[in-house]
Structure 1
Amino acid sequence: METVTYDKKVTGLLVIDPYNDFISEGGKIWDRLKGVAQANGCIPNMLQVLEAARKAQLRVFYAMHHRYRPGDYETWKYVAPIQRAAWGRKSFEFGTWGGEIRSEFAPLPGEIVAQEHWCSSGFANTDLELQLNRHGIHQLIVVGLVAHTCVEATVRYAAEIGYEVTVVRDATASYTEEQMHSALDVNMPNYANAIVTTEQIVASISSL
């Protein structure tokens, strides 16, 4: 995997799904993630990357999953398994604590929250590509949840449409170590130009 250098003018941080339901104690999905997330320091690492990006004055973008609302999916002819699971759990329910961004990760003025994605890719059926292009972004640094679903799907899509992508491996998590291995060591190396640690990415962007 190549060594990537970052150009401050064209580099953005993409934070995927930092909802309370995912990354806060008491969240609907936290118990499934906490083993891996606590083992690799995912949440503090996500925050460290976010703070470093802000300090370096990189553009920050958020790709957020659709927040469940009553009536969602009920009239759909085809519902993907991952959507059926979200429907059953009422994941990230709109108007609830679980559907709010964890407070430490709240977007600051000027940071861009893209339209919510309905399945896994932060690009599919949203304005994320438009927002990135309008802000002149060609390089993406990606952190967030979940490694083998939304992160991987977003990274794949980004590569398909021409972005240079870096994934921060200890600033993401999955439900099992096997899923982490599949995402970070088997699948995403085909699409990400670099897969690095928090320490490495913070050092890189702090010198911009």
Structure 2
Amino acid sequence: MKQALLVIDVQNDYFMGGKFPLVGADVALGNVVLLIERFRVTHQPIIYIQHIKYGKNADFFGKGTTGAELHAALKVDNKTIVVRKCFPNSFLGTRLKKKLHMLGIEQLVICGMMTHKCIAATTPVAAKLGYQPILIHDATATRDLEIDGKIKSATQIQQSVIKTLANVAEIKSTQTFLHNLN
């Protein structure tokens, strides 16, 4: 089965010093890098999703800002496949589906940020389109959220979203996924 790694929104604004830092972003990034290294060594496609917000009032990921750039640890170059998006769902209004079809991809391994937003919006669509997603839970990150006047921790949000996505994706840790490839 031909796989591709889908790395969603691993952009500077989600890290310390950025406009919208996430809880656990550095740990997730370390796991994303391990996945990227494995896919590069095995010559499997890696597709980077980059969220861009347009307009002067963009709170983060503003077009042309350092915060909107993909994180340096991803080591993107001119051969890198980057799909830009404006919505949480990585398929909506993008060339992602066409690119996956051109590459003959049958399964997506998904990682990135934010778990409760773009990961949660993209993963079910990947399943509906037949890409049999594997979600690498510890290669994602989110943030604390206020719900009904109460703060829910990033850990609570992460666990809840991952559990929900288990209905449409196989859930694995980075180490389990990498170990199963050997």
TM-score normalised over the length of structure 1:
0.77
Higher helix share: 1
Contact 1:156 1:191 in 2 (8 A): yes
The answer to whether structure 1 residue 21 and structure 2 residue 13 are counterparts is: yes
Partner of 2:146: none
Deviation beyond 6 Å, 4+ runs, structure 1:
none
Q: Specify which of 162, 165, 174 is matched with residue 188 of structure 1.
A: 165
Contact 1:37 1:43 in 2 (8 A): yes
Q: 1:109 Cα deviation (Å)?
A: 4.2
Partner of 2:136: 168
Partner of 1:202: 178
1:116-141 deviations in whole A, cap 9, x for unaligned? 22221000111000000000001000
SS of structure 1 residue aligned to 2:110: strand
Mark the runs of 5 or more structure 1 residues left unpaired by the alignment: 1-6, 71-86
CA distance in 2, matches of 1:54, 1:26: 29
CA distance in 2, matches of 1:48, 1:16: 15
| Percent of paired sites with the same residue | 30
CA distance in 2, matches of 1:55, 1:204: 16
Mark the runs of 5 or more structure 2 residues left unpaired by the alignment: 144-153
Q: 1:88 Cα deviation (Å)?
A: 5.4
Q: Specify which of 155, 162, 170 is matched with residue 177 of structure 1.
A: 155
CA distance in 2, matches of 1:143, 1:48: 11
RMSD of Structure 2 on Structure 1 (CA): 1.6
Partner of 1:77: none
CA distance in 1, matches of 2:70, 2:97: 21
Q: 1:14 Cα deviation (Å)?
A: 0.3
Contact 2:12 2:18 in 1 (8 A): yes
Residue 182 of structure 1 aligns to which amino acid in structure 2?
S
Higher strand share: 2
Partner of 1:129: 97
